[in-house]
């Protein structure tokens, strides 16, 4: 039997994004990838969002660690992004938080590059992407 890959959810969100919105978007992304919450190994985001109440609550609800990355730490993964966001660049200094954070955290945990399993999915106030090891 082939083992399922460990997944990392990369999440970008605007200030004030709710737990309900983040849960809905993450569950939708997992379903699209044919995965479930138990496949997740961690959540990663931009360093200034690790204290965002909705995001912190999501990590706590799932019992997962929440890692934050600086724009400089996300930059090496830019060439792998499926979309380059000018809005993200203006607010964070990187072109895509969700995808690059997921890839950065895969690299941090496993010291090898991850691959995007699901490119960024958007809701009104958030983005999520899934990377696999």
pTM assigned to the model: 0.90
Residues 5-37 pLDDT 10s? 689 999 999 989 999 999 999 999 999 999 999
> Domains along the chain?
7-132 (3.30.420.180)
DSSP string, the chain: -PPPPPEEEEEEE-TT--HHHHHHHHHHHHHHTT--GGGEEEEEEEGGGTT-HHHHHHHHHHT--EEEE-HHHHGGGGGG-S---HHHHHHHSSS-HHHHHHHHHHHHHHSS--EEEEEEEE-SSEEEEEEE-
pLDDT class for 3, splitting at 50, 70, 90?
low
Residues 68-126 pLDDT 10s? 999 999 999 998 888 887 777 777 778 689 999 999 999 998 877 789 999 999 999 99
């Amino acid at each position: 039997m082939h083992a399922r890959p460990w997944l990392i959810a990369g999440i970008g969100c605007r200030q004030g994004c709710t737990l309900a919105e983040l849960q809905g978007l993450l569950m939708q992304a997992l379903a699209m990838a044919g995965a479930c919450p138990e496949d997740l190994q961690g959540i990663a985001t931009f360093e200034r969002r690790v204290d965002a109440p909705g995001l912190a609550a999501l990590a706590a609800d799932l019992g997962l660690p929440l890692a934050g990355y600086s724009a400089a730490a996300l930059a090496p993964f830019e060439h792998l992004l499926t979309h380059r966001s000018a809005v993200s660049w203006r607010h964070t200094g990187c072109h895509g938080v969700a995808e690059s954070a997921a890839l950065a955290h895969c690299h941090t945990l496993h010291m090898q590059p991850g691959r995007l399993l699901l490119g960024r999915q958007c809701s009104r106030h958030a983005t999520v992407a899934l990377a696999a090891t």
